[in-house]
Structure 1
Amino acid sequence: MALQQIVEQTVTGLGYDLVEIERTAGGLLRITIDLPWQAPEEGAPELPDQYVTVQDCEKVTRQLQFALEVDGADYARLEVSSPGIDRLLRHEQDFIRFEGSEVDLTLKAPIGAAGGEKINANRKKFRGTLERSEEGGWQLVWTDEPPPKPGVRVSKKREPAPMNVMGFTLDELRDVRLAPIVSFKGRAAKSE
């Protein structure tokens, strides 16, 4: 059996999703796993996000070591990990799952003149909120105003910077990742 099949059967058989298989020149075989995700049904309460734990990675590692040894796969080291806080969005389901999240987006080609006069025509990289467009596609919403510095007061009379919106198709993208935004202030209560 091919390596891809062995890994995919083992990972899905244990109840996880296979995100990525990566081989490096030094013989490292890196497997990225995630917990299965289903879109919430209409009207159903949204379940809290669950994350891959060290115990999940250990369980998959042990099973994969056995399966790869039986098949005689060639690798020097095996590494099983979660997608992380800056996970790569690859499939339509990833975009649906993380709709409304802050993302870092890189286009394959610069936006050209279609971006309007306020956006540099050679720009490829953007950070903004991932949203559904009215046409059913995807769009990125962002502002180029820098965030206020800690401790600096911002006047309430100050005009906010205009919001930019850019629609895109998945074919135009080189890379989309969740923006690794971490707050060290603890967990805040969600406003209802």
Structure 2
Amino acid sequence: MQINEKSIVQKVKELVEPIVKSMGFRLFDVEFKPERGWVLRVILDKEGGITISDCEEVSKRLSSLLDVEDIIPTSYILEVSSPGLTRELTKPEHYEFFKGRLIRVVLRAPLEGKREFKGYISDVKEGILQLKERESGQLLHIPFSAIAKANLEIEGW
């Protein structure tokens, strides 16, 4: 059986986003991938963080909904979780949401002789991340296409 992971992720996002939003959560991401069988991971966020009981409540609601809608043509495990304190930033809206926060960025190719930067998100405009480097204070303009990986950093560690 051929499984179109991207199509399933898109359908799940469209189906669950209004539900989790009505429950007071923000849909951070959805993943569908093979890991010891298929796993559907729904990643939520909210101001103040996600609790285990939040995950349980959303899991019950989504499990019933996904069973009724039957959009996934194979068996899978549903996981509802938080993105964590050092969450990966994968979309422009993630960077926008965390403006002012400290992040670590790893680039696909060196910029000014370096591939890794720590700094504060100044702005996000037209596919460009504006990052104020923590050590030098220099404002860097990094195209999203140049970013290999970016994560929130915990300050003071």
What TM-score bracket applies, with the shorter chain setting the length? 0.7 to 0.9
Q: Which residue of 1 aligns with 2:3?
A: none
1:55 aligns with 2:46: no
Q: Name the structure 1 match of 2:142.
A: 168
Distance 2:129 2:39 in 1: 38
Instruction: Report SS of the residue matched to 1:108.
Output: strand
Quote the offset at 1:17 in angstroms.
1.7
Across the aligned residues of Structure 1 and Structure 2, the Cα RMSD in angstroms comes to: 2.8
Report how far residue 65 of structure 1 moved: 0.7
Deviation at 1:79, TM superposition (A): 0.7
Residue 66 of structure 1: how far off its partner (Å): 0.2
Partner of 1:190: none
Aligned partner of 1:142 among 118, 134, 138:
134
- TM-score, with length taken from structure 2: 0.72
Q: Secondary structure at the match of 1:7?
A: helix
Q: Deviation per CA, 1:44-65: give whole Å up to 9, x if none.
A: xxxxx52112221111100011
Q: How does 1:41-190 map to 2 (within 5 A)?
A: 49-72=47-70, 73=72, 74-111=74-111, 115=112, 121=113, 123-132=114-123, 138-143=130-135, 163-181=137-155
Paired residues in the alignment total 141
Structure with greater strand share of residues = 2
Contact 1:131 1:141 in 2 (8 A): no
Give the deviation of 1:99 after TM superposition.
Answer: 2.7
> Which segment drifts farther, 56-65 or 13-22?
13-22
In 2, distance between residues paired with 1:8 and 1:176?
24
Deviation at 1:138, TM superposition (A): 0.8
Measured in 2, the distance between the counterparts of 1:54 and 1:176 equals 25
Higher Cα Rg: structure 1 or 2? 1
**Structure 1 length-normalised TM:** 0.61
